[in-house]
Structure 1
């Protein structure tokens, strides 16, 4: 039985018992009183290494429990992955009760306690006989997880006044030992778990990359899960462990069956790239139509919570927002602050901040509120993109750059500086005709569009041949009126 099906806390194990482990099951011969003697070895033949050995799983439970009592928490969890019998024995309340009391017993520094009292007090406190099997194992794991979560909440409290986002995201990632995996699921039910190869952290987003030589065939895959993984047992005074039991938190699930039918986001001479919402970029080799790389773009708003507090099958649900009470007749239509980053591969083409954005009730159309950030009619607001725009990618052997594509991070704050709408997604510039009733623009016009259930972003750019650069001549947000009503308690 696999450890996932057997584990009571849905923990994913990545450190099975090694070949040298004393808990590994070895073939042997059972010996008992009255058994017929073995055949005599032929003259000159070397005796078998396992002659006279007894399989570990045939030992009495009392002996196995004695052996398990010398193991630490990580080794016990690994031992429980051997078989059903080991799982139940390695969950013994007495063993885990001692581990729990040693790790979380109250510190007594004001008076001396005898050695007998030190042992008797925690054991009587635990009430070992009155608990169901595995109780103190679950209690120990829950306590370990809650201690890491408490440290995370403290690290995430300081807010950057400029972005309205946690100012110590890198510190929170270090404390939690957080990483990310892809779980590729075949139509047959087989799973492939891939560790991330590359990681970059920016002010508003995290970019995670996977690539390798042994990808499963695309035709055999059905879905892919993006999950955060954290060590169950974490010593904050040491670097995060690379082995041992880990907690998996589902962030998003994607359907790969319709990938080839989706519109291509962009391409170069080697790959074609596709975007699966939210924020997953999939690269296919042109020659073989097989996976080349996968890139996830995650906004840092509530990223740590989503990557640590969910389960392997259910994503973390954000706490319901309490509506902002304001008697103003135009509540929710003014006081917005927007941060926009356009980047790829550590190169930023634009970092813009726009304050005091507002609109009027007359700009509410088809269930969306229109916020004009950059007006095409005001040349003073137009902004250039720095450098040649393109989305960089790499694998272990090859690399490239898909022109006209990049990562766009959108962070919209309300009038109190709280994150209202946060987006991180790959986008692409596509040629579009200039409006006949608009101003005359000196160059080819391009558009960038993004949309989800909470809003839309529309960007218009012009390519200036003389200076070899793109200029943003229009930036408009369309916010869902339903989202504004839920956030502010209004009725637009």
Structure 2
């Protein structure tokens, strides 16, 4: 079937379906990254929030050629940022407002929930194998967020060499979560072996080891099998730290989406 016909068929898909099509093979990956199709999605999302800017109107006037001249995946990533709310300056302005009583930024919980920010932990063993775990629960207080990882089969602690905490923002597309694109920021990276860590509390069931950066590991009593992980994240600049603390190895820049 000619590529033009396939592109015509793909133009009827929603953004989530079009993105998932890229996993079929290299041919469909190339077709599904067509700049003009993603530009149409971008304009649609952009117009929901405000009128098209002069730049958008200029590009629209240029037609297909002007849109296609943009770098590969440019409009796809621009569309993802619009859907995720990263192109809206409202939260960036409001999150800077300081509460006079606590000295912390206002509306932190509101913006974390509206942007659907979550956190993940990635552990690495001595052979370089990496395992990533999504959070189980998050509880908000006036000054901090308490994030828990439980009901997870963790690798043996004595085989782990490092632990990384990531802030994660996924694009709310209508596709399976494991394939959903997004951005990942490394907030903390801790060595687990050969470092001095503090055993903070112990009872008849579990013992807890504080490894730094607000991260505490819970172990079953009389063994070093991880039962749960708990992280205390202070609200000070938490939105910025969760989004921009550093650049994940899975993306070359913040403007790029990871898969």
| TM-score, length of structure 2 as denominator length | 0.78
In structure 1, how many angstroms separate the alpha carbons of the residues matched to 2:75 and 2:109?
A: 33
CA-to-aligned-CA distance 1:239-287 (integer Å, 9 cap, x gap)? xx9943232221111222236x634222111222111121110112234
Whether 2:218 is the aligned partner of 1:280: answer: no
Shift of 1:299: 0.9
Unaligned runs of 5+ in 2: 53-57, 251-259
Unaligned runs of 5+ in 1: 1-58, 109-119, 235-240, 315-492
2:82–2:88: 8 Å Cα contact kept in structure 1?
no
Match of 2:44 among 69, 80, 102: 102
CA-to-aligned-CA distance 1:144-164 (integer Å, 9 cap, x gap)? 456455232244133211111
In structure 2, how many angstroms separate the alpha carbons of the residues matched to 1:273 and 1:121?
A: 57
Aligned position for 1:165: 104
Structure 1 residues 73, 311: closer, same or farther in 2, change over 3 A?
A: farther
Whether 2:89 is the aligned partner of 1:150: answer: yes
1:148–1:175: 8 Å Cα contact kept in structure 2?
no
Structure 2 SS opposite 1:266: strand
The structure with the largest helix share of the pair is 2
2:85–2:115: 8 Å Cα contact kept in structure 1?
no
In structure 2, how many angstroms separate the alpha carbons of the residues matched to 1:96 and 1:212?
A: 39
1:151–1:175: 8 Å Cα contact kept in structure 2?
no
Shift of 1:221: 2.4
- Greater Rg over alpha carbons, structure: 1
Q: How many residues are matched?
A: 240
Superposition map of 1:70-469 within 5 A: 70-104=12-46, 107=51, 122=60, 124=62, 127-144=66-83, 147=86, 150-233=89-172, 243=177, 244-258=180-194, 262-309=197-244, 310-313=246-249
The structure with the largest strand share of the pair is 1
In structure 2, how many angstroms separate the alpha carbons of the residues matched to 1:75 and 1:303?
A: 32
In structure 1, how many angstroms separate the alpha carbons of the residues matched to 2:33 and 2:99?
A: 44
1:155–1:171: 8 Å Cα contact kept in structure 2?
no
| TM-score, length of structure 1 as denominator length | 0.44
In structure 2, how many angstroms separate the alpha carbons of the residues matched to 1:182 and 1:81?
A: 25
RMSD over aligned Cα atoms: 3.1
Aligned position for 1:439: none
Aligned position for 2:55: none
1:152–1:176: 8 Å Cα contact kept in structure 2?
no
